[in-house]
Amino acid sequence: MKFGGTSVGDVARIKAVSGTIRSALRPNRKIIVVVSAMSDQTNKLIELTKDLGVEGTIDPEYDALVSTGEDVSASLLALALKKLGIHARSWRGWQLPINTDSFFSNAKIKSVNTKKLIQSFKDGLEVAVISGFQGVEANSRITTLGRGGSDTSAVAIAASIGSERCDIYTDVSGIYTTDPRIKRKAAKIKKISFEEMLEMASLGANVLQTRAVELAMRSKTPIQVLNSFSNEEGTLVCDEEEIMEKNIISGIAFQRNEARITLSNIEDKPGVAAKIFGPLAEAGINVDMIVQSSSETGNTDLTFSCSAEEVEHAKEAIAKSKDLTYKNIIVNSEVAKVSIIGIGMKTHAGVAQKMFETLSEENINIHVISTSEIKVSVLIERKYLELAVRSLHDSFELEKI
């Protein structure tokens, strides 16, 4: 069972969560709980690094600092459970240990050592409460797993221990056809395939961290997303084969803060794209959509997108590229990406066409398009983001899902 930030937001919530755990206990059942930091604590810790002027610096001390929020909620929850007479104890990432690589602030889990956990359960422990978001690298420094990383901690532990399922408790009642904060009438999806959820998460639905879904898919660990504030039935993220009724479109995801960069009048000859994207990759910039038009004149334009935060960084990287000639660099940092996702697209034609038609009816101009087997993404002006999501939700009739 994993509980996110709002679910353990204050002491009253921690008490409520201890009650939920108590009702899930059975004579022959042991429970592993993974917790996030209490609401907003991670942001506050990151604010402190901003105040110090070291925000964004890759440094083991950053991870040592921002991982502490999880330790507070783990210990508080263990205390609350003990108060209910439950045999519980907290574990920090390094105590198990949860081994990671050394990419501070965005480390990947290499292995979870479950020996101590299993021994404690044999010795009578009923509930183990583990700090999410953190691990330890080869030189014994604390690492963190990137924002939203407690989801990944939970799935990694569930997979390592051979758990039949990983239950993720959050502040909404499951996975919805789109973010319910944007579309109030978004519908809850009963079952969604790993593949679709992976696209949803990586295209902006941060209800689950992308890497958690990836890991669940690889280890075949189903995830159940539930509301810690109510007893409603949640959403099961599982294998495609377990889903009888496949929707053509399952959901709409979006990324608000995108930027579009166009290099005009570049030479249309072998090696030019490499001269642009090589330096961008070296600078660690995540390039997303790419479009290049064919040319008759020997010169062409190339457009790509990246997150708005990385624009300045991207411009610097391009400026440093050797022998790259272009006329202008045109930046639009006021764009957003909207994507429709659905496994049914594999077998149904006309989905992209319907998306374009809907946007055109709202007079929304499409800057860039990209597709895969199960998604279509478009880049549009940011001010039309909500309108685009809502009208696509209506035209694909997702409230009836």
Binding mask 35-54 for ligand ASP (x = CB under 6 A): -xx----x------------
CA angle 192, 360, 397 (to 5 degrees): 30
Minimum CB separation of residue 78 from ligand ASP in Å reads 18
Q: Does 7 bind ligand ADP (CB under 6 A)?
A: yes
Minimum CB separation of residue 148 from Mg ion in Å reads 4
* DSSP 8-state symbol, 346: G
Residue whose pair of structure tokens reads 């690589």 in the numeric block: 101
* Of 73, 138, 131, 135, nearest in space to 105 by CA: 135
Euclidean distance between CA atoms 194 and 200, whole angstroms: 10
User: How many residues line the site for Mg ion (CB under 5 A)?
Assistant: 2
Minimum CB separation of residue 151 from Mg ion in Å reads 6
Q: Does 149 bind Mg ion (CB under 5 A)?
A: no
Stretch that binds Mg ion, among 148-156, 185-193, 356-364, 376-384 (CB under 5 A): 148-156
User: How many residues line the site for ligand ADP (CB under 6 A)?
Assistant: 18
SS3 content of the chain, % helix, strand, coil (to 5): 40, 25, 35
Pairing type for strands 2-3 and 31-35 reads parallel
Residue 149 interacting partner from Mg ion, ligand ASP, ligand ADP, none (CB closer than 5 to 8 Å by kind): ligand ASP
Minimum CB separation of residue 116 from Mg ion in Å reads 26
Q: Does 251 bind ligand ADP (CB under 6 A)?
A: yes
Euclidean distance between CA atoms 107 and 330, whole angstroms: 34
CB 161 within 8 A of CB 134: no
Minimum CB separation of residue 16 from Mg ion in Å reads 18
C-beta contacts of 40-44 below 8 A and 24+ residues apart = 40/5, 41/5, 41/69, 41/72, 42/5, 42/66, 42/69, 42/133, 42/147, 44/69
Q: Does 214 bind ligand ADP (CB under 6 A)?
A: no
By CB under 6 A, the residues from 131 to 160 that bind ligand ASP are 132-133, 147-151
- Would you list the DSSP string of 271-290? THHHHHHHHHHHTT-----E
Stretch that binds Mg ion, among 66-74, 141-149, 345-353, 374-382 (CB under 5 A): 141-149
Residue whose pair of structure tokens reads 């039935």 in the numeric block: 233
Binding mask 152-191 for ligand ADP (x = CB under 6 A): ------------------xxx--xx-xx-x----------
By CB under 6 A, the residues from 106 to 135 that bind ligand ASP are 132-133
Q: Does 386 bind ligand ADP (CB under 6 A)?
A: no
Euclidean distance between CA atoms 398 and 393, whole angstroms: 5
Residue 172 interacting partner from ligand ASP, ligand ADP, Mg ion, none (CB closer than 5 to 8 Å by kind): ligand ADP
Stretch that binds Mg ion, among 68-76, 143-151, 160-168, 282-290 (CB under 5 A): 143-151
Euclidean distance between CA atoms 32 and 81, whole angstroms: 13
Q: Does 148 bind Mg ion (CB under 5 A)?
A: yes
Q: Write out the residues near Mg ion by the rule CB under 5 A.
A: 4, 148
Q: Write out the residues near ligand ASP by the rule CB under 6 A.
A: 4-5, 36-37, 42, 69, 132-133, 147-151
